[in-house]
């Protein structure tokens, strides 16, 4: 026997199955949203934490793509790849210093400590020009 529930639906049993189903869908959507939020937060924290492992501070770089690009170059150079592969060049005023362009605006600066290249910093083109003119590390 079908009966009329207080919600206005008709059906069998003690509860309205249509309303119960709607409720289930709604709460599973909310749970999914919550899970997505938690995942995004975890990804954000992992990204923030990843900077602690960089040999130089890359937090000031404006976007993720640049950070990943610098990391790629740092890892390749640490593996022993030649900086010239990344269009890096030695500075005229201090041949121990090597500048590698990162995108249009940034320069990765390394120092040649007798064969081992030590990352110093990642600067904007402008910072690089002003801070290096007097000769960095002299």
Smallest separation, CB 44 to Zn ion (Å): 40
Give whichever of 7 and 68 is closer to Zn ion, judged by the CB atom. 7
Number of Cβ within 10 Å of residue 35's Cβ equals 10
35: left (phi over 0), alpha (psi -120 to 50) or beta: alpha
Q: Can you give the binding site for Zn ion, defined by CB under 5 A?
A: 7, 9, 16, 18-19
Give whichever of 7 and 93 is closer to Zn ion, judged by the CB atom. 7
Please state, in angstroms and rounded to a whole number, the distance separating the CA atoms of residues 114 and 96. Answer: 8
Number of H helices, E strands in the chain: 3, 6
Give whichever of 1 and 52 is closer to Zn ion, judged by the CB atom. 1
Smallest separation, CB 12 to Zn ion (Å): 12
Return the bridge partners of 90, or none: 98
Smallest separation, CB 32 to Zn ion (Å): 23
Smallest separation, CB 19 to Zn ion (Å): 3
Return the C-alpha torsion angle 117, 121, 124, 127, nearest 10: -110
Give whichever of 10 and 89 is closer to Zn ion, judged by the CB atom. 10
């Amino acid at each position: 026997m079908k009966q009329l529930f207080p919600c206005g639906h008709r059906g069998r049993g003690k509860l309205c199955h249509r309303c119960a189903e709607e409720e289930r869908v709604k709460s599973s959507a909310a749970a999914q949203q919550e899970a997505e939020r938690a995942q995004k937060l975890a990804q954000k924290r992992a990204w923030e934490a990843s900077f602690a492992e960089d040999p130089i501070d890359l937090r000031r770089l404006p976007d993720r793509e640049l950070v990943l690009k610098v990391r790629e170059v740092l890892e390749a150079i640490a593996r022993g790849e030649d900086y010239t592969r990344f269009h890096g060049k030695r500075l005229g005023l201090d041949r121990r210093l090597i500048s590698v362009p990162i995108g249009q605006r940034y320069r990765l600066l390394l120092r040649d400590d007798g064969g081992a290249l030590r990352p110093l910093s990642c600067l904007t083109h402008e910072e690089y020009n002003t801070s290096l003119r007097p000769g960095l590390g002299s």
